[in-house]
Amino acid sequence: MRRRYASVGSIVLAVLLIVIATTQVMASGSAAQSPDLAAFQSRTRFPALAPVHDSSPGSLMQSHRIEGQVDQQDADPGSDGRLVPQAVFSPDERVQITPSISTVVYLQIQGQVSRTCTGVMIGPAMVLTAAHCLHHPDFGGFASKVVAIPGSDGDASPFGVHEAQHLSVPNAWIETQSPDWDWGFLTLATPVGEETGYETIGALTTSALRSSDLFPLTIGYPSGKPAGTQWAALEERLSSVSDTELSTRLDADAGQHGSPIYGGDEFWVVGIMSRETASSNRAVRVRLAMIDHLLDSCAELGCTFSYWADPSLEPEPTATSTQTSTSTSTSTTTTTSTTSPSSTSTATQTATTTQTATSTSTSTATATSTATAVPTETPPVGPTPTPSQDSMVAFDRTWARTDKPVWETVVNRTWMWGPEPFTELLFEQYAEADGGWRTVIYYDKSRMEITSDPNVPQESPWYVTNGLLATELITGRMQVGNNAFVERDPAQVNVAGDPDDETGPTYATFLGVLDAAPAADGALLTQRIDRNGNVTTDASLEQHGAYAAYRVQVPGLDHQVASPFWAFMTSTGTIYENGDYLTAQLFENPFYATGYPITEAYWATVKVAGTYQDVLMQCFERRCLTYTPGNAPGWEVEAGNVGQHYYRWRYGVMP
């Protein structure tokens, strides 16, 4: 008989998690409804298992067979060799789940070091987790022993202790250690999932994942809590979504690496906890590439799993990794082809083989793909390089200096970058960069990039720069080298205010005033500009007291910086540096974030949140700043969303 151990605690879990959800919804002021968490407990955990196509097995993942018996006592849940821990954002809002959820698995792992992780049953004998929990340099490669304890509840192991038979991770993880590929799975010698049940992994659209009513939920086994105890955290929405990662403020620590993130009405597993940054925890996103890799490996190993893919998702370009499997599995594989990804079926789908004879399904749809292509402009000859995680560390450090205090509500002031990057690490063509490619990442308000100057040390603030995006948007000249440009049209995108404002200035508006004469030192700023670039004088604007505060004269440029902006650029406040909050200059150089001014400051009538108001704006090489006298203190001066605007201008769509 199939038991559902966790169903005993359905009322307790629903009450506890609804309290968390209600608190967060009230705090955010959102009208979104919290999910039916009682349904999370009562839903079926035995989704149909459907036969799928016969791929050419073993080309995308590497599998390792574990030899010998593994005892629970052999796997020390200590913290030796732990990777960067997940973050707990004060206050810790995790709640203990007891009786535990049967499909969430406590993993005890041994290699050259020991650690604990979390996994989730996605088939009768298949556990999905993070790749670094199975294969890592700390282990000397693959882990030597893995113990899986589904539904562990402290000292209780209601579904027994099971040995891992095979460990599988993407070849791309072994080759690059990129977080894009930080997922893998293990198979068990016995199909304990027939007792515990198993979850469905879901490849959702980006818009679905960004929904305000997704209510992501994670459940796992934190190393900072009593060993083997299960804890859950819930929030209203994800912080951000990229092609390969989900960013979240869900509380988690090191033992929760590999924990599932559930989301949507069907409580699909939409992500696997992977790592942290200065502002968030990150999960690898369930996507078509992951499903394709799992199908490929299961065709070799004879494993079974349940998945669903939104029919509107487009297949991703095929990866070129080469299989170098060390598996000695003798499982027999018998698979059947299914229809193409264009099928409109919304049924749950799975990969299956003769390992479990009881599997049946009427589903016929499938979706296959692999690695996501990175958009580029006229790429140079040669392969696209692999992003370095040293770059991400440098980007996070730069972000944290000014924006971590804002994120943590330590201060009340404008963002300089934005809450989260909205892309993963990307490569863009730049002639002087190593190999002709430059590592970049996009935030709402800018693009960070690693300098192309090899003589700049990594600890220098100038190791990370931000692009001359405003200059490119205004002139229409996309820079691809120190002296190389792609000629395009100036951006017809609103510099500030609502996107549907048809009267406010665009970047193209400022093309005609780049050579305007500077205002006199100390002169009150009363010039007004309209969308067509017409400049007039409005004496009533003297009431705001903005004046020409600092004149910049460098080759090719001669402009005044408006007083509100100069005060902000030279201000002192709370920053985050070397693990501490300090009081210091926001910018070590006043022009670090903005570059030099390329226009004078002009007033404009701008539609903001549906209301037209006077806004002072000035464009610099790297950004455009705005001053809105009626804004709340700390937010009168803001940086425009030039990162978003530039990405859309360059690539045509947002990621």
Alpha helices of 453-517 — where are they, by DSSP H?
A: 469-475
117 and 185 fall within a common domain:
yes
213 and 304 fall within a common domain:
yes
Residue 458 has pLDDT above 70, yes or no: yes
Residue 322's alpha-carbon distances to 56, 132, 365, in angstroms, are: 12, 20, 27
pLDDT (mean) for 239-260: 86
Query: Do the beta carbons of residue 587 and residue 569 sit within 8 Å?
Result: yes
Query: Do the beta carbons of residue 265 and residue 248 sit within 8 Å?
Result: no
Rounded Cα distance between 181 and 611, Å, is 45
Residue with tokens 């038979």: 165
Residue 537: strand pairing partners? 527
Residue 561 vs residue 419, higher pLDDT: 561
pLDDT at 39: 59
In a domain, 98, yes or no: yes
pLDDT at 79: 36
Least confident among 57-61, 140-144, 602-606:
57-61
Tokens for 60? Answer: 């995308």
Q: Would you say the C-alpha torsion 291, 295, 301, 306 has a positive or negative sign?
A: positive
In a domain, 362, yes or no: no
Q: What are phi and psi of 644, to 5 degrees?
A: -60, -45
Looking at the structure of the chain, the number of domains it has is 2
Residue 642 has pLDDT above 50, yes or no: yes
pLDDT tens by residue, 54-76 = 444 446 677 777 665 444 444 44
Rounded Cα distance between 634 and 608, Å, is 17
Q: What is the CA radius of gyration of the chain?
A: 27
Query: Do the beta carbons of residue 349 and residue 295 sit within 8 Å?
Result: no
- Please report, for the domain that includes residue 139, its CATH number: 2.40.10.120
In a domain, 216, yes or no: yes
Rounded Cα distance between 537 and 603, Å, is 10
Q: What are phi and psi of 148, to 5 degrees?
A: -115, 125
* % of the chain at pLDDT higher than 70: 75
pLDDT tens by residue, 366-416 = 232 222 333 334 433 334 445 566 788 889 999 999 999 998 889 999 999
- Report residue 603's pLDDT band, with 50, 70 and 90 as the boundaries: very high
Least confident among 170-179, 275-284, 370-379:
370-379
Residue 86 has pLDDT above 80, yes or no: no
- 614 in helix, strand or coil? strand
326 and 437 fall within a common domain:
no
Residue 314 has pLDDT above 80, yes or no: no
Q: Would you say the C-alpha torsion 91, 92, 98, 102 has a positive or negative sign?
A: positive
171 and 255 fall within a common domain:
yes
417 and 285 fall within a common domain:
no
pLDDT tens by residue, 32-56 = 444 555 556 555 566 655 444 444 4
426 and 522 fall within a common domain:
yes
pLDDT tens by residue, 505-547 = 999 999 999 999 999 999 999 999 999 999 999 999 999 999 9
Residue 317 has pLDDT above 90, yes or no: no
Element (H, E) at 273: strand 268-276
> Can you say how many angstroms the Cα of residue 195 is from the centroid of all Cα atoms in its chain?
34
pLDDT at 332: 29
Residue 120 vs residue 425, higher pLDDT: 120
Residue 431 vs residue 389, higher pLDDT: 431
| Domain span at 543 | 389-651
> Can you say how many angstroms the Cα of residue 452 is from the centroid of all Cα atoms in its chain?
25
287 and 396 fall within a common domain:
no
pTM: 0.52
* % of the chain at pLDDT higher than 90: 49
400 and 327 fall within a common domain:
no
| Listed residue (626, 619, 628, 627) closest to 646, CA to CA | 619
Residue with tokens 């300089």: 416
Q: What is the mean pLDDT of the chain?
A: 79
**Helices vs strands, H then E, count in the chain:** 10, 36
Residue 627: strand pairing partners? 616, 637
In a domain, 377, yes or no: no
